[in-house]
Every structure is written in C-alpha cells, then in structure tokens.
A and B are shown apart, each in its own frame.
Chain A
Amino acid sequence: MTATAERPTPTAPRPKATVRLGDRVFSLATVLSGSLILLVLVLVALFLIVQSIPALFAKPGEIPNQATNFWTYVGPLVFGTVWAAILALIIATPLSLGIALFISHYAPRRIAAVLGYIIDLLAAVPSVVFGLWGVLVLAPFIQPFYNTLVDHVGWIPLFAGPVSGTGKTILTAAIVLAVMCLPIMTAVMREIFLQAPVLHEEAALALGATRWEMIRMAVLPFARSGIVSAVMLGLGRALGETLAIAIVLSPATVVNVFLLTSQNPNTIAANIALQFNEAQGVGLNTLIASGLILFVITLLVNMAARFVVNRRKAFSGAN
C-alpha cells in the first residue's frame, strides 16, 4: 500500500493523449531551461579553468610584470581587490544601516517610499558613470582634504605620504565603491527591518522605551542575519566592480595599506579591464586565470551570504 501503487501511472494513452502531450512538452521546456542555468554556471567555471591552465603552469618570464609564476602575479591583485572592498564596506555598512533604519523606522511613511525609490535609482546608475564622476568630480574635490590629513596625521601609517596630487587613490576608489554598494545593501536591510515583528516593537514602546531602545530590543536582534547577508552581498558587489576602479584608481604593482598615495594596489577586475585588449598568448591566459580567482572568491562570498540568511521558506501561492 505505498503511494506509488495508488497513483495511476499514465500507461494507457487514450484520446486524451493530446492533453498530456501539451503538459509534458511544457513542463519539459521549463525543466530544460532551469537546468540550462546550472549548465551555464558549470560552463563558466569550465571555460575559465581550461583557458587558465596555460597561465597556471607558465614558466618564469612568460607572465607579465616580471612575476616568477602566476601566484606571485595574482597575489598583489587579490590583496588589492580585498583591500578595496573592505575599505568600501567600512564606509558603506554604517551608512546603509543608517539609511535603512531611516527609511524603515524614522522617515514619515509617505516620504519613506520616495526615499526608497531614490536609493533604488542609485542602483540603476551605470558603473562607468560612477567612474567618470569619481575621477572628474570626487577626486579633485577630496584631494585638499588628503593634503590636510597627510600634513597633520601622516604619522599614522594609513595616512602616510607622499600624498597623491590627483586624488586618484585607493580611498577615493573605495568611496566610489561604497556609494555603488549602498543601494543593494540598503535594499536588503530595509526589507529585513520592515519585517521586524510589529508586536515586539509595540511591546517595547509600551514599556517606555525610546525609539532607539525599541530598535535595539525588537528590530536589531531580529535582523542580525539579514544585516550580515546584506554586508556579504555588498562585499560581492565591491569585489567584482570593474570600471569604477579602473577609471578612478592610479594603480601600481604594490602591496601596501597607504590610503592616500599615488602608489595603489590594483584590483583583479580593474587589471583585467585595463590589460585585456593589449594582452596576447600567456598574458591573456594569465588575465583569464585571475578572473577565475575572482570568480571563486565572489562565489564563496555569495554562497556564504546565502547560507547565513538561511532563507526562511518563502511564502508561495503555488503549493
């Protein structure tokens, strides 16, 4: 008496076979296209690996930048990628937390919708425009502040000189990155904050809590995993951003943590964009291999983000 024994198996095709055919064709089409997505992801990994192999086993001298092997070539780039992304997140996380809270719990309801829309518009601005703005507006605007910083607190390693005369430093790039990551992070956090149980909030307020105390008691504990995943998503964005960095940063093959000099570590993505059209032979393979490294890093970050959220079973109308 199992389930399979009871379910009629469609063995005997009768006149209604046409009906079943439509169903079968249609569901097959949907399954195929769903599987195609998995296939594409596998292909992305596969092609990148195939094209990377020459670089991974290259002899000294074949890799650009006088690197002895691929890993010494990609090492500084990985550092630069992670460093820029972390700087961007240090700026963007408190800001996006603030904006999300502002929209969900501080702004009047009618204004909140408009504000949310404005933040979404930020997400729609193409990255090349951010790059243009960063290098032609932000960099010259912010350079005098860098002078002041280096003059007065230059003894802190982070702010060590010599100061960049153009403002095209890693800090400027990180600020641009931060602005670009803000919308996605804000959107995720805002959703989570809005889902915080209203009953808990009211209970806190009824106990005489101030608004901040209410948020600390009822909203933040509820939203912790959401905040973490928003930060991880932002991190994924920042790691993969290409053009804004390529335009804003004046790069060098270095590993350092000086924020304000003209000798800045480059990122993987920006390096690919800058070198790709001139690259040939193993140089090209090297760039693709560095792209593979970037792919793996962002994949890990994104998967971690998804696991953290531990997505609660979404409400579905179709079950």
Chain B
Amino acid sequence: MSKRIEVKDLNVYYSKFRAVEDVTITIEPRTVTAFIGPSGCGKSTFLRTLNRMHEVIPGAYVEGEVLIDGNDLYAQGVDPVLVRRQVGMVFQRPNPFPTMSIRENVLAGVKLNNRRITKSDADDLVEKSLLGANLWNEVKDRLDKPGSGLSGGQQQRLCIARAVAVSPDVILMDEPCSALDPISTLAIEDLIEELKQEYTIVIVTHNMQQASRVSDKTAFFNIAGTGKPGKLIEYDNTATMFSNPSVQATEDYVSGRFG
C-alpha cells in the first residue's frame, strides 16, 4: 500500500513568482513526515505539488520531478485525476460534502467516479474506513445523518475516512488540526499514529509540539524574506531536528526565537 516519495530539484511557480525553490527530499514509506516553518514559506504549496492539487490555482506550475515508487507525477500524459486517487489529501478545515450523509461521504470517492459497488461491499468499505478513522463507534447509529451535523473533530476524522476509502498510497495533511480544539486534535494525532502502519503520511503543521509528537522525520522550510522563494532548510529525524539541529535557523525556529 505504502510508497516512497522522491522529489528532485522541485521549483513551484505562481505565474512568474517562484514560491518554492530547489527542493530535494526523499520520504520513506510507512513514516510520518512533518513540514514545519513560518507562514508563507511554501510548505503547503510544496505539499500540494505531491498530488498536483496546486494546479487548481490558476497560473501555478512546477519544474522538476516528483517520483512515487519511481513513477514521475509530472511526466508527459500523466492524468492528475489518477495521481490524486493514489495520493489522498486532508485539508485545514474539515469539509464534508454538505449534501451527503455520513455514509455517502465515506463512499464519495468511489461513487463519484461512477464505479459500481455492491451494497455489501459498500457497507464493508464504510465500516472499514470509519474504523480506520476511529469514528465508527461514534457514528455507526447515524450513518444516514448529514455529515455537517458532526463536531469539528468528528468531521475531520470523517474527511480522513473519506480519503482512506479510496485506498491511496499516501495521505497528505494540510494543517489538519488547526481548526480543532485540543481534545479533537489529540484524537487526530492518535489516528495519525495508527494510519502510519499502512500509509505514507505527510503533514504540514504550525504546531511544533505536534510535529515532535507525531512525526518520524521533520522538514524545516524557511524564506529569506517576503517575495523570496521558500526553501527546504533542513530535513532529518524529528528527534535530531528538535534536540540538535545542524542549521542555526532551525534551532532558532524550533526553540521559538522567531516564526
């Protein structure tokens, strides 16, 4: 299920503006990698290039290579739609589809692609995905209620279940807890720990405690100033990054001296 991501000399542009410069990074399977850095340093932008979601923004394009198990996402003729089925994404704010019930939300990825699925298969998939997202026990009695009726933390776990249901290889999370309270955050963090058994997980976070709690490896992004492109400053084991970083800027950032 889980796959290795290799990024080579990746540049991201918004029209003429270079947002991210020369990122080279290798993300191992079955690990949690955290991207940290100050606002505007390009970490979210970079995350989006891992499943070509940046293309939603007009004028955004990349140079360089992103390989998932050796397949280049940006090779000629690659369909971004297929890429996104392999690389799922969870967003900053929980965004269940408001017209769908909880059950339909979980099945959305399957149903929306017009794939046929028998009722029992669908039931199994819903249960498996919701179990995987630690949400099953809370919602199993109200699967036909609208997803927007859940609490923020439950909605976010529903979105994770929805992403898991299309059985991707990689799950990207863009500040998944920033709109949640501490209790819900804890639930999500526990979930990330479990998901790691099966998926490669990349998470962007502003919260350094969270990065140190959930991730195996941490990448620190920074910008030299406004209008300059973001760069990958340091990438190492999380323990090393937070105790003994090799770059001064990283130490300043993780110790709270700026950012």
Annotate B71-115 by CB proximity to A: 1 below 8 A, 0 otherwise: 000111111011000000000000000000000000000000000
Whether the pair A6, B63 counts as a contact (CB closer than 8 A) is yes
CA of A9 to CA of B77, assembled, Å: 7
Complex contacts, B253 vs chain A, CB 8 Å: none
Please give the number of chain B residues whose Cβ is less than 8 angstroms from any Cβ of chain A in the complex.
14
Whether the pair A8, B62 counts as a contact (CB closer than 8 A) is no
Annotate A279-319 by CB proximity to B: 1 below 8 A, 0 otherwise: 00000000000000000000000000000000000000001
Whether the pair A12, B79 counts as a contact (CB closer than 8 A) is no
Partner of B76, one of A1, A3, A9, A16: A9
> Chain A contact residues: over half helix, strand or loop, or mixed?
loop
Whether the pair B58, A319 counts as a contact (CB closer than 8 A) is yes
CA of A8 to CA of B57, assembled, Å: 16
Residue with the greatest number of chain B CB neighbours at <10 A, chosen from A8, A10, A16:
A8
The residues in B between 47 and 66 inclusive whose CB is less than 8 angstroms from any CB of A are 57-58, 61-63
> Chain B contact residues: over half helix, strand or loop, or mixed?
loop
Partner of A16, one of B57, B61, B79: B79
Whether the pair B76, A8 counts as a contact (CB closer than 8 A) is yes
Whether the pair A12, B63 counts as a contact (CB closer than 8 A) is no
Whether the pair B82, A6 counts as a contact (CB closer than 8 A) is no
Task: Please name the residue on chain B nearest to A318 by beta carbon.
Answer: B56
Complex contacts, A19 vs chain B, CB 8 Å: 79, 81
The residues in A between 1 and 45 inclusive whose CB is less than 8 angstroms from any CB of B are 1, 3, 6-12, 14, 16, 19-20
Complex contacts, A8 vs chain B, CB 8 Å: 74-78
Complex contacts, A7 vs chain B, CB 8 Å: 61
Annotate B33-48 by CB proximity to A: 1 below 8 A, 0 otherwise: 0000000000000000
CA of A7 to CA of B58, assembled, Å: 13
CA of A190 to CA of B198, assembled, Å: 57
CA of A9 to CA of B82, assembled, Å: 16
Whether the pair B61, A3 counts as a contact (CB closer than 8 A) is yes
Query: Is B242 close to A, CB under 8 A?
Result: no
CA of A3 to CA of B81, assembled, Å: 20
Query: Is B136 close to A, CB under 8 A?
Result: no
Complex contacts, B75 vs chain A, CB 8 Å: 8
Whether the pair B61, A12 counts as a contact (CB closer than 8 A) is no
Task: Please name the residue on chain A nearest to B57 by beta carbon.
Answer: A319
Closest chain-A Cβ to B86's Cβ sits at a distance in Å of 13
Closest chain-A Cβ to B75's Cβ sits at a distance in Å of 7
Q: Report the 5 A-B pairs with minimum CB-CB distance, sorted nearest first.
A: A12-B77, A16-B79, A8-B76, A6-B61, A3-B61
Starting from the known contacts A9-B76, A11-B77, A14-B77, 20 additional A-B residue pairs (CB-CB under 8 Å) come to A1-B63, A3-B13, A6-B61, A6-B62, A6-B74, A7-B61, A8-B75, A8-B76, A8-B78, A10-B77, A12-B76, A14-B79, A16-B79, A16-B81, A16-B82, A19-B79, A19-B81, A20-B79, A319-B57, A319-B58
